[in-house]
Amino acid sequence: MPESIVPPDSNVPQLDPEDWESFRGLARQMMDDVVDHLASVGQRPAWQPLPDDVREALREPVPREAHGAEATYRVFRERVLPYSNGNTHPRFWGWVQGSGLPIAVLADLLASGMNPHLAGLNQAPRFVEEQVVAWIAELMDFPKTSSGLLCSGGSMAGILALAVARHARAGFDVREQGLQGAEHPTLTLYGSRETHSWATKAVELLGLGRRSLRLIDVDDAYRVRVDALRQAIADDRRAGRRPFCVIGTAGTVNTGATDDLEALADLCAEEQLWFHVDGAFGAWARIAPALRPMVRGIERADSLALDLHKWMYLPFESACLLVRDADAHRAAFATSAPYLGAGERGVSAGGFPLADRGVELTRSFKALKIWMALKTHGVEAFADMIEQNVGQARLLVEQIEGHAELQLLAPAPLNVVCFRYVAHGSSEREHHALNQELLLRVQESGFAVPSSTWIGERFALRVAIVNHRTRAADIRQFVERVVGLGRALSAGPKIPNTQD
């Protein structure tokens, strides 16, 4: 032992609180502050820029000496807490970012306090996760025998799903042989042009390459053209390539469109292809009686990726992968190692089954917040809230259609609305500049946070409502604000187009 090592039981600072009672005081303070923060979220700006001095102050040397918990917490409250991207606010509708349920905040505290290791093992949390996955499978009408795993997000769920599909349908042992070398036919897979960018990351990461992902044209409703898909598969087969998977989307990120999942399921059955559905947010239409028909066919998928941190309003990160064939799921990831044996009894009884369903070994107790939120509120409350969000999107569409200066840019079948302000006699380029500026001013005013996208050649303001705090009045006020800003901007001097 080197001479300088700290001897056992010497008088070094402890990492647990020296005084649990004063820790309890700080804990209560934090809890009060979090509750106040949540209860007053609508009274603050949806977003505010991070002041330069605050950003500067966040750049600090490594804290080699102790600052203490109280002082550290004060810094957090001052410099971090007020400056988030705003998705807990009732008028945040950017990208697809859920609003976060208070009960889940407490669940995350409990989960961290308990700090179990979720690779499996003989412990209640493992069964809580398995129960949560089984509930989600039931809600999606997947068979009882299906498998699943909680993961960080829809992207990770999709990447894992394609890894399972690749292993199950490559026609050779991908895990053993990899994809290097020319002895195998090129594997190809399919999605629509509207497929989310996670799929590109997935094919790059899985060694399939971007060329393997065929992005098929969509119809006027932004759904994949099944005839074109069928043709692309036939062309690839004729050229000696090996189609193995079709990705359907329930709720595209751009416009909320849902592919004809029944038709895709039929096609995959005929062609013997793996059918994956990306239902990051749209899958949850399944639990709402009025929306359920839109995602008909989702229950026929071989794998389904869905987020809980979007349209189930849970805090980040929480998503779920479902795989119909439990053996195929396990076969894609299971490994063994001498230090990971399963015992007959004791802590290791049951082994590490959750580590065998994905790439992570150490996993957190994400299941608890889902379990607590579902039990606290009941599934019907979520179904109602989802329908209410769709109702709010329809209200926004009505308001847009009732306004000569606003233009809807794509059908809005679900909770995503793409539109713009139109100034009479303006060119496309001028519309882009005006709406870009309008978007930034709405955000910078702190009033609301929409995001943007392109619908073909048109720059769109994009509102995606996965927010349990939004009310109809928020939508109406937002429309007034957009029209007011649009008028002010189009009356003022021309806005330089930043893309020029």
Ligand X SMILES: *Cc1c(COP(=O)(O)O)cnc(C)c1O
User: What are the residues binding ligand X (CB under 6 A)?
Assistant: 96, 153-155, 196, 198, 249, 251-253, 278, 280-281, 307, 319
- Please give the Cα distance from 67 to 240 (Å, whole number): 65
Residue closer to ligand X (CB basis): 160 or 448 = 160
Exposure string of 27-45, with b = 16+ CB inside 10 Å and e = fewer, is eeeeeeeeeeeeeebeeeb
The token pair at 111 is: 């989960």
Residue closer to ligand X (CB basis): 278 or 474 = 278
- Please give the Cα distance from 99 to 275 (Å, whole number): 30
**Strand-strand pairing, 319-323 and 147-151:** antiparallel
Minimum distance from residue 6 beta carbon to ligand X (Å) = 43
> Of 160, 258, 239, 261, nearest to 201 (Cα)?
160
Residue with the two structure tokens 């009274």: 43
Minimum distance from residue 281 beta carbon to ligand X (Å) = 5
Residue closer to ligand X (CB basis): 248 or 486 = 248
Minimum distance from residue 450 beta carbon to ligand X (Å) = 16
Residue closer to ligand X (CB basis): 83 or 95 = 95
Minimum distance from residue 205 beta carbon to ligand X (Å) = 13
Minimum distance from residue 65 beta carbon to ligand X (Å) = 38
Who's near 140: CB < 8 A, 6+ residues apart?
279, 283, 286, 298, 299, 304, 306, 322
Residue closer to ligand X (CB basis): 198 or 382 = 198
Residue closer to ligand X (CB basis): 170 or 280 = 280
Half-sphere exposure (CA, 13 Å, Cβ side) for 418? 23
Minimum distance from residue 133 beta carbon to ligand X (Å) = 17
> Of 492, 487, 465, nearest to 406 (Cα)?
487
Q: Compute CA distances 88 → 340, 391, 423, 466, whole Å.
A: 41, 20, 32, 10
Minimum distance from residue 495 beta carbon to ligand X (Å) = 30
Minimum distance from residue 309 beta carbon to ligand X (Å) = 6
Minimum distance from residue 96 beta carbon to ligand X (Å) = 4
Residue closer to ligand X (CB basis): 422 or 460 = 460
Residue closer to ligand X (CB basis): 364 or 490 = 364
Number of Cβ within 10 Å of residue 373's Cβ equals 24
- Please give the Cα distance from 343 to 359 (Å, whole number): 22
The residues with which 187 forms a beta bridge, in sequence order, are 242
Who's near 217: CB < 8 A, 6+ residues apart?
192, 193, 224, 225, 228
Residue closer to ligand X (CB basis): 236 or 278 = 278
Minimum distance from residue 158 beta carbon to ligand X (Å) = 6
- Please give the Cα distance from 437 to 403 (Å, whole number): 20
DSSP SS3 for 26: helix
Minimum distance from residue 256 beta carbon to ligand X (Å) = 9
- Please give the Cα distance from 188 to 208 (Å, whole number): 8
Residue closer to ligand X (CB basis): 154 or 358 = 154
Residue closer to ligand X (CB basis): 400 or 466 = 466
- DSSP H helices, 189-281, are 198-205, 226-238, 261-271
- Please give the Cα distance from 415 to 421 (Å, whole number): 20
> At residue 408, what are phi and psi to the nearest 5 degrees?
-75, 130
